Each structure stands twice: as C-alpha cells, then as structure tokens.
Chain A
Amino acid sequence: MTDENWNPKIIAIICNWCSYAGADLAGGARIQYPPDVRAIRVMCTGRVDPLFIMKAFQDGADGMLISGCHFGDCHYLEGNYKCAKRMFLVKTLLKNIGLNDKRLRMTFVSASEGAKWGEVMEDVVKTVKELGPSPIKKYQR
C-alpha cells in the first residue's frame, strides 16, 4: 500500500538532556537523514504520558519515537526507566487495537551520539515506510 510519494507522519518526543542534545550534535556534524520526523522537546522522557502516544495515533500518526538518555544517565536519575516501563503497557494497548507495535519505538541516544541519532532517524522512517500508512486513518470521519 506504500506509494513512492507517501511521506509518513512521525512524531518524536525527546528529552532535553540527551536525545535533543544528540540531535543537535548530528546537526553540528552535518549528518544527513530523512526529514519525516517532527520532534517535541520535553525535559525528560519521564514526562511522556501514555495519553500523548494514544492521542498521536488517534490523530493518525504513522509512527512515534520516544528517545531519552541511556539507563543510568537520566538527568533526573530514573525518568527513562519509568518511561520504558510505560512503553510496554502502551505497546500492548496498540496491539489490542490492531496497530503494529513497531510503529512505536523507544531509543536511547546520548548527548555525544550524533551519528547514532542519524541512524535512529533512518531506521524509524524506514520501519514506518515499510508498515505503510496507519490503518487508523481509514476509520476517521
């Protein structure tokens, strides 16, 4: 169902201290990656309410990325653990409503991993493109 010109809609919620800094570093190093992801900055991935994710998919997002610090590196000690735990719950929910849970991804990119951020971007876009547009769009009025 994927056509060549289809650009997936992907939202990333990323933490200020690691992944956002890593994404900035990718810029400084001029690492090139596809432009499909739109990032929202929060202070810590602990802020990510499962509601945000469900809301995005309800609105028709094709994919979502949550990215924070590596375990042990969270600026607030353990926000990323708390967030990662919630991800299991949300992934189950997604499956229950018939969405492929690969549309939701959590990654850990530190402030010094610009190149890794580029790889994550490539990979997330590729995965979502392979899955095609979100089926939820069909059910929208």
Chain B
Amino acid sequence: MADTKEESRIGVFICHCGTNIAGSLSIEDVKKYAETLDGVVVADDYQYMCSTPGQSKIIDAIKEHNLNGVVVAACSPRLHEPTFRTATEEGGLNKFRFEMANIRDQNSWVHMHDWEGATEKAKDQVLIAVAKCRMLEDLQPKSVPVEHAALVLGAGIGGMQAALDLASAGIKTYLVEKLPTVGGRMSQLDKTFPTLDCSQCILTPKMVDVGRHPNIELRTYTEVEKVEGYIGNFTITLRKKARGVLDPTEAEARGYVGGGCNGCGDCAEVCPVIKPNPFEMGMAPRKAIYIYHAQVMPLLYTIDFDSCVKCGLCVDACGPEKRAIDLESVDTFEEIKVGTCILAIGYDYIPIEEKREWGYKQFDNVITGLEFERLICASGPTTGHLIRPSDGQTPMKVGFVLCAGSRDNTGGVAKPYCSRFCCMYCLKHAHQIMEKIPGAVPYLFYMDIRAFGKMYEEFYYRVQSEGAKFIRGRVANILEDPTTKNLTVYTEDTLLGRPVAMEMDMVVLAAAVQPKADAEKIRQMFGVSKSQDGWLLEAHPKLNPCGTTTAGIYLAGVCQGPKDIPDTVAQAEGAASAASIPIHTGEVQLEPYFAQCNEEICAGCGMCLNQCPYGALALVEKNGRTVMEVTEAKCKGCGTCGGFCPGGAIKMQHFTSPQICAQIDAFLLKGEDY
C-alpha cells in the first residue's frame, strides 16, 4: 500500500493550455509551490500537456525520476484523464497512479480577473491532488464481455436508420417502437424540403427494410419497462402491449396454421366504434380496431382496448380461418440482453393552444404545420385538397406564423430555442400552395428565415420568386370574423416600422417542438441527463454529439435537439457506428471503483445491504463469522455503501476514506497537525 510501504515519488506537471491557464494565474508560482510538497520529486510545466511532447515529458520523467505517482494540473479529468492515464501507463506505471488538478475549467476560466485568488486556488488544487496521489494504489481495470446485440428505441427515421446500419454491420438489433407502426413523424409528411421528394416514397422502402432485415428484431406496440446493467450487459424488460390481433407467427403458435392477420381490414369495416385517427391529426376517423394508414409496417391491425366495447363483430368478420383476433389478449413481457442502446424517441409539438393569442382550437381555420401536411397529402383525409376546416372552401390567402412558440422568452409553454425545421417547412408549404391552387398567395409572418442547410437558401429564393409574401414581425394576435370565419392577423412589420392587420382565409402555426412527454421517464431509466431545455444531453456538444455520459447509451434524431431529416439520419448513422464499436471489440473495460469489505472490521450488522441500489451486497458466513460480501459484477462503484458503513469496513477503491480525508486535511491543515 502506497501510504505506508513505499516512499512517494511524485511528478507534478502544470499545463499552460496556451494562455487559457497561463493568462489567468502564475504557472511559475504554482510550480515552485509544487516542488516544496511532501513526496514531490519533480515539477515541470509545458504549453500543452496533452500534446505529444507534453505527454513525453510525463513518460520520460517517470523513467528518469523513478516516479510512482503523476499529477497533472490542467483541464478537467472528464476531458483528459484518459489521455494522461495512458501516458502514465506508457511510462511504466499502473494507470491508476494518476491524479488530476482541474485548474482550467474550475479555476482560470472562472476567475479570469483575480490573478492572486486563482494562483492561490491552483496551489491548493495541486496540494489536494498530491495528497491523494500519495495514497493511490495499483488497480486492474475489469474487462467484461459485450453482448452481441443492440437496442434502438423509437422507430422514426432516426431509429430506423440506426437499426438498419447496426443490423447491416452484423449486429442483432432490437428495434422497439411504442406505436403500432414504424415510421415516426416523417410518415405524416407529404413532401420534404428542399428537394420536394415525396416523404412516403423515400420512407416506405426503409420501413419495409426494417421489417424484413434478418438481423432486426422488430417490436412494435412495445415499451421499455425496466433497464438494468451497464455497457456490454444491459438487461431490458419490454412490455408488449395487448394488441388484440395475432400476426401469422403468433397464430401458428396457437395452432391456427395459415391464420393470423393479413391486413384485409374486414374487421374495421364492421367495428361500430369510431374514434379520431391521431395519425391524421384527428381529422379522419378510425375504428376501435385500426391501422393508421395504408403503408403501416407491420401490416397488422391493432385494437384500442380503451375504446373497444368487446361486441365481437370483428371476430366474426375475421372468420374461422384467420382467427386473428383475440379480445382477451393481455400485455406480455420479454427480457432482452444487449450490449449498447440508441435512444431515438423523437418529439412532439408544444400544446400551442395554450398560446391563446393565436387562437388554435378556438378558431376553426387556425391549424398547425402537421395538420397542413395531412391536408395537402394525397393520401390524407381530403385526398390532398387543401380546404378550410370551417366550410370546406379552398383558401386563397394563407398566413403562416413562424416561430410560433419558438425563440420566445415569455415563459409558459413557449421555448427559448429555435425549432430549426419550421422555417423550411413553411417555405415548403408556401410552395405547395402556389403549385396546387392557382392564384393562392401564402403570407409568411417571420422573425428571420433560417435557411441554413445545403440548397436551403436557394429554395428560399425560389419560393420568393414564385410570389410568396414575407412580412417580418412576430404575430401579436389573431382574431376571427364570426360570420365569414376569416382571420385577421395583427403584427408589426418591423421592416416598415408600422403595425399591420391582414385578413387571411386560413392560418398555419409553425408550432415549436418539445421532447416527448415520456422522455423524462425514459431518460431516467437509461441514466441519461437532459439539457437545460429538456432535450436529452449529449456527452459533448461538439466532440461527442451522439454519445451520452452513460457508457453504452447513444442518441439519434430530434430527441437530442430539433433537427431536420438529413441531420437526423446523419446523427443516426453516427450513433450506430459508435454503438457498434464496443460490440465489435467484444469487451469493454470498466473502471475498478468497486466496493470491498474489510472482513476484519465488518461487524456483520448488514445495515449497508439496503444502501446499495443494485443489490450487490449480501451477508455471508466466513470462518464462523457473519460478514458482508460484495458481488463485483453488480457493483457500479457509487460508494453509497462506503459512505454509510458506521464501522468504516467498506473500502471504495480509488475513492477510499483515507484518500478523501487526506485531501481534506491537506487543504485545511497544510501539513500542520493543528
């Protein structure tokens, strides 16, 4: 053990980080101070410690001075601990003989105008790091095998792309979708900007591919119930919701050979219960036994048991050959084992009706962008005829309210961020109106047009030249004429600097988007953080946009933040690639921060047992005594048991009580024993 047996020989290396550190505190003073510390045999500094020459300094010093500990005072261990641990190892030391002092992110960057204060703090940070370093011990990382399978949660375009990539790379992939069909929001769209390809035409082939890829295990109408384990070895419990309809395989399992749902729809024809179809944004009906639309994948009906009256008409209509309907079906559970997971759960609109000033759900002719998509789509409720909900007339003047609830700091349901795709879809909608309805004019009420993508600005010019009108100003409110049901849009034209009121036949709100309602639950189950705005938090905004801080969990699509289809697909491919690395490597190294029981001290009281959230602790009989035992495979190294044991019998590797006390003492006593 480092504390008693061997004399400490520590090297301290201080990084300038260009002027990031050196510009706010005295590197020289810190270095001189480090040289005086107990156990320090060499102190050095360098422009960029993380560079190759910087790391060579560490490697050489270990050899030259026969070091047994390394301290680097630089940026955050969250960024560069792995780098310097590798250098420590290359120098011939165990890589856990390394400790870092965060004098950049938690010092020079936050005390930029306090040279003295920052220098004093940096000295203390080095002192505290050296105190810990003196007591570090050799540890062996634990290698665990990685399950050769992955989970993708959510089967929108993001999830489907990620699953296809993983599956094509030879990995068994569970694609789990909570709705009865894959496709996500993209399947609700008519055309896609800026190329105007038909959304279904480019999406359907992918939907079909996920259905028949031999490596994809598709689970629709299924939710995640429980997540256990860690990278390499997640055990995930799925809840397959009662669907009331058997697919051919399930039918065969019940002995109905050749039976099961073939998607004929005879059942829905006879079903007496009528409900709004959420896929059509409630603008078309569906029955209690339904499919969302003709291209669903899998083509399999579903019973909405919340509205089903169990009359049994569908069972008869389905007939004795198929026997596809089981009105008594119940939720079933399945446990799967995967090595890595990708979350791709997408987004929702904010409840835009709560912005009362724009009149959604008060005035018939105020609709949202998604409703517009369904109304303009040939397979939609009006077979592609854009009509006013109030009277079925064709609108000739259509207003678009951009940033409806986005870039809005007024609180409530409004969001401060930009929803990113609304500018572009409004341009798309404007184009579609002018193309479909001769003489119709779209009026776009906007703050800025953000046409940032490839060929987007060009599309903007095109829509301008086609005759769309642009009024720069945030819409203050919208009022309805009760007889004509026409709408008057009030805003200030900020380019002309005067208020305007314009009468429209119809208004489309480009409502802001927000995380799915259950994103919070999913996030906590998978141990992922959220950004300030509620979207799932990436590991690093620039350098690790697909990863999360929880090893083995990755993000794809809008659930990480608003993005359009090209960006969603790109991120999905990135996430799939990242998620496949541990699987293809076959093993991962876990940091060996396990709890250990000091059996001589352990009184066998068992009070620690329920401290552990993972059930890693148990009481066992050893040499005639009852003592606690840790199951290393279950321990994740939080230290909660170690923080609790009244006798101090639990040793938390790399965060031992003597190490932490030494850090406290070092700072407060500065080497004196009071």
Contacts and interface: CB of A to CB of B under 8 A. Distances in A.
Contact of B529 (A40, A42, A110): A110
Contacts of A73: 524, 529
Contacts of A11: 664, 667-668
B643 to A, nearest CB: 5
Contacts of A82: 611, 640, 643-644
Given A23-B106, A42-B660, A52-B661, A61 B668 contact: yes
Given A43-B639, A60-B668, A110-B529, A35 B107 contact: yes
Interface in A22-69: 23-24, 26-28, 30-36, 38-44, 46-49, 51-52, 55-56, 59-61
Given A38-B124, A79-B613, A82-B611, A47 B655 contact: yes
Given A32-B112, A140-B674, A24 B106 contact: yes
B106 A59 contact: no
B78 A21 contact: yes
A7 B124 CA distance: 13
A57 to B, nearest CB: 9
Contacts of A51: 648, 657, 661
B467 interface: no
A105 interface: no
Contact of A17 (B106, B529, B648, B667): B529
Given A18-B529, A40-B660, A82-B644, A24 B105 contact: yes
A47 B674 contact: no
Contact of A42 (B76, B106, B639): B639
Contacts of A36: 117, 121
Contacts of B78: 16, 20-21, 24
Interface string B111-130: 11110011011001100100
Contacts, number: 168
B473 interface: no
SS class of chain A's interface: helix, strand, loop or mixed?
A: loop
A49 B643 contact: yes
B529 A35 contact: no
Interface residues of B, number: 56
A118 B109 CA distance: 12
Q: Kindly state the interface size class of chain A when it binds its partner.
A: 35 or more
Interface in B586-625: 593, 611, 613-614
Given A34-B117, A52-B660, A76 B112 contact: no
A52 B613 contact: no
**Most chain B C-beta atoms within 10 Å of own C-beta, residue among A48, A49, A86:** A49
Contact of B109 (A27, A46, A61, A141): A27
Contact of B640 (A30, A46, A118): A46
B35 interface: no
A111 interface: yes
A86 B644 CA distance: 9
A107 interface: no
Nearest to A40: B663
B77 interface: yes
Interface of B: 76-79, 102, 104-107, 109-114, 117-118, 120-121, 124-125, 128, 524, 527, 529-532, 537, 549-550, 593, 611, 613-614, 636-640, 642-644, 648, 652, 655, 657, 660-661, 663-665, 667-669, 674
23 contacts: A13-B660, A18-B529, A27-B107, A28-B109, A31-B110, A33-B110, A35-B117, A35-B118, A40-B664, A42-B639, A47-B652, A47-B660, A48-B643, A49-B642, A52-B661, A56-B668, A76-B614, A76-B636, A76-B638, A77-B527, A79-B638, A86-B644, A112-B537
* A-B interface, 6 closest residue pairs, ranked by CB to CB distance from nearest: A46-B640, A47-B639, A27-B105, A76-B638, A59-B668, A27-B109
